[in-house]
Chain A
Amino acid sequence: MPELSRTLPSEDRLVLLPKNPGVLFAFWQFSASREEAFISSALGGEVELRLFHSEDKAQVSALKAAWKSGKAYLEVPAQGRSYTAALYALRSGEWEKLLESNPVSSPAAAGMAEERAYASLEFHKRVHL
């Protein structure tokens, strides 16, 4: 998998982006102080990425996540609804919310027919393969 060549500043960040009607993309990173908390075991090493409906805060999924930084593609149960993600870690046996993402709406499936498809892909073929 391609990755960045340079190190970024250590900051707390959890971002949720739309990908398509069925999938959202989440990526996250923890600050140095949080990293220290993990290393010192103040925070348990187990991290969960949870997805919620924004409107009623109902949890729709949870998955194990990496504590330092990471990414995940999250399937959504209902298209066209707003979601928020959050990262939780164990502190003294209790789940503690560490980071919360922006809300994002998953696109509503529009049944894009095959013949509609395109636009920029063919244009960009002009950069020589």
Chain B
Amino acid sequence: MSSRGSLMFVLHAHLPYVNHPADSSFLEENWFFEAVAETYVPIISLLERLASEGIRPGVALSISPTLGAMLENEELEEKMACYLGSRLELIAKELERAKDDPALLKTVKLYQKLYEDAAALMHKYSGDLITPLKSLQHAGQIEIITTAATHAVLPLLTRPEAVRAQLAVAAEDYFDRFNQKPSGFWLPECAYEPRLNSSLKLSGFAYTFAESHSVEFSGQDASGGVHAPYRTSNDVGLFVRDAASSREVWSAQFGYPGDPAYREFYRDFGYDGEYEYLRPYFGSDGARRPLGLKYHRITGAGTDLAAKQYYDPDAAQARVEAHAADFLERRIKQADDFYAERGTRPLIVSCYDAELFGHWWFEGPAFLETVIRKIRADRLPLQFVTPSEYLNSCQEPREITPGSSSWGENGYFDPWVNETNDFIYHAVYAATDKMIETANRFRNQDLPGLSLRALNQAARETLLAQSSDWAFLLYIGSHAQYAKSRLEDHVANAIKLLGDVIEKKVDETALNKLEQRNSLFPRLDFRIFASVSKF
């Protein structure tokens, strides 16, 4: 059947850079391990499965440079193997404990398969999950794009040098990781402002994404609505996120993930189980923590955690089928309505954080796979396209300048600038200004190796201080102390290193430790922060 519209899935995978090599069970490193086991492995597996069956997924996947660095970090890979081993050891005990409880046993076996699959995929690729992603892209199954170096909310960086550094470092990082230049750029938090157009162009990006309200209310001729691509005045392609399809998948309140049959995220066996039984699986501090074994379903909106009922994988899978069918039915209607109104076939751009699929919405990967399969199996009049494919085949997009916007709460920058987190900008700007000033001072000098290393590490620390995650964690009040410490550490590290270079007293031992801990962007050259860059 011929296509009545195009569907573009964009999954944005990002985690803040968390690497604590001196600690074997650092709590926040679990963010990474959980996301690998519950999201990245299931998504890679489904992409490979589809590709092997001749069903081209055709999705775009944004891998943040910080996440990419963690996926290639051998120490984290080793810790990941320990994490999976620990979970499988606990699951073995759980299989015994649940043997007379068929409802529980079914879910324990589900987790056994989840973690065994994760261990198998990690083993298959020697712990490096970039390898299968690279292969999928090389085979034309998916398109991989990048985002800002440390996921800074770019409209909140007023120094152009800082924006350029975030983009240029990301482009270089992508090239090193995927052996080709990146085409697409995911704006962290979908945060756009017109000032970014020139930076995107200068860094070689061909397209990016913006929020629908930034286009709909731009006051310009957006006659394609949100279902057509646009271009900026300097020819950067612009795709617009579709609010309807996003809401159906994103919203726990109105969307599919809130279905009573789906797994409950917040009730975790790490808080339910008998303490001594679970003690070996907690960290060195002995404090209870989530263990990823969640045996209950949402049950009902507002149901108390204690009253949640057991999860039933079969019932959940039935809902996945129904939700995938509903999602596609709505997209076809959306396409038909658009065609009836405007006489052209729409492009529906659905963007999600990748970690929604699997980690937060446990059934998300199954939903994604079912959607892709159904289009083929039911010969539905929709086709998946990647951004580059679409730009290469569509008519010249109309020029537009969207307004400033983000996909955060209320649509602008409130989550990252409010009374809970605004104090951090004193520190972020102190490091950024000092970095730019020092880069300008030394950019044309031949520097001794130690000074050069210190300046490059200061650039890493500055970039890390600019990450959007610290402001957001402070805003939601979760891991707030960790976020504050990380921010202050990076700022202090950057300022000290820069001062030490100026005073010619770099402490090599301390520098070695920082290089080991914050070891991303191995080719980073501090001069990228200079006001007139050599790049």
Which one of A107, A115, A120 contacts B412 once the chains associate, using CB atoms below 8 Å? A107
CA of A9 to CA of B494, assembled, Å: 12
Task: Say whether A127 contacts B247, CB under 8 Å.
Answer: no
Task: Say whether B473 contacts A124, CB under 8 Å.
Answer: yes
CA of A9 to CA of B495, assembled, Å: 9
Q: CB-nearest residue of chain B relative to A104? A: B158
Question: Contacts A4-B427, A25-B422, A116-B213 hold; do A123 and B360 have CB atoms under 8 A apart?
Answer: yes
Give, as a whole number of angstroms, the nearest-CB distance from B53 to chain A: 30
CA of A80 to CA of B193, assembled, Å: 11
Give, as a whole number of angstroms, the nearest-CB distance from A104 to chain B: 7
Task: Say whether B265 contacts A19, CB under 8 Å.
Answer: no
Query: When each residue 227-269 of chain B gets 1 if its CB lies under 8 Å from chain A and 0 otherwise, what string results?
Result: 0000000000000000100110011101000000000011010
Give, as a whole number of angstroms, the nearest-CB distance from A28 to chain B: 9
Q: Which of B79-87, B327-335, B374-382, B401-409 contacts A (4 or more CB under 8 A)?
A: B401-409
> Which chain B residues (167-221) contact chain A, with CB distance < 8 Å?
189-190, 193-194, 211-214, 216-219
Give, as a whole number of angstroms, the nearest-CB distance from B226 to chain A: 11
> Which chain A residues (23-57) contact chain B, with CB distance < 8 Å?
25, 27, 29
Determine the chain A residues whose CB is within 8 A of the CB of B474 once the complex forms.
2
Q: Does B363 contact A (CB under 8 A)?
A: no
Question: Contacts A20-B413, A116-B411, A123-B360 hold; do A27 and B422 have CB atoms under 8 A apart?
Answer: yes
Determine the chain B residues whose CB is within 8 A of the CB of A16 once the complex forms.
158
Determine the chain A residues whose CB is within 8 A of the CB of B405 once the complex forms.
107, 110
Task: Say whether B411 contacts A110, CB under 8 Å.
Answer: yes
Q: CB-nearest residue of chain A relative to B488? A: A6
Give, as a whole number of angstroms, the nearest-CB distance from B535 to chain A: 23
Task: Say whether A126 contacts B265, CB under 8 Å.
Answer: yes
> Which chain B residues (322-372) contact chain A, with CB distance < 8 Å?
353, 355-356, 359-360
Question: Contacts A9-B495, A126-B265, A127-B31 hold; do A117 and B410 have CB atoms under 8 A apart?
Answer: yes
Give, as a whole number of angstroms, the nearest-CB distance from B490 to chain A: 12
Task: Say whether A6 contacts B251, CB under 8 Å.
Answer: no
Give, as a whole number of angstroms, the nearest-CB distance from A121 to chain B: 5
CA of A45 to CA of B59, assembled, Å: 59
Task: Say whether A116 contacts B243, CB under 8 Å.
Answer: yes
Task: Say whether A6 contacts B492, CB under 8 Å.
Answer: yes
Question: Contacts A13-B429, A124-B472 hold; do A105 and B404 have CB atoms under 8 A apart?
Answer: yes
CA of A127 to CA of B219, assembled, Å: 38
Which one of B251, B289, B430, B476 contacts A118 once the chains associate, using CB atoms below 8 Å? B251
4 closest pairs, A vs B, by CB?
A112-B411, A110-B217, A110-B213, A107-B404
Q: List 7 A-B contacts (CB under 8 A).
A: A3-B423, A4-B427, A5-B488, A13-B430, A18-B412, A119-B190, A122-B356
**Chain B interface (Cβ < 8 Å from any Cβ of A):** 31, 34, 155-156, 158-159, 189-190, 193-194, 211-214, 216-219, 243, 246-247, 250-252, 254, 265-266, 268, 289-290, 353, 355-356, 359-360, 403-405, 407-415, 417-427, 429-430, 433-434, 472-474, 476-480, 484, 488, 491-492, 495
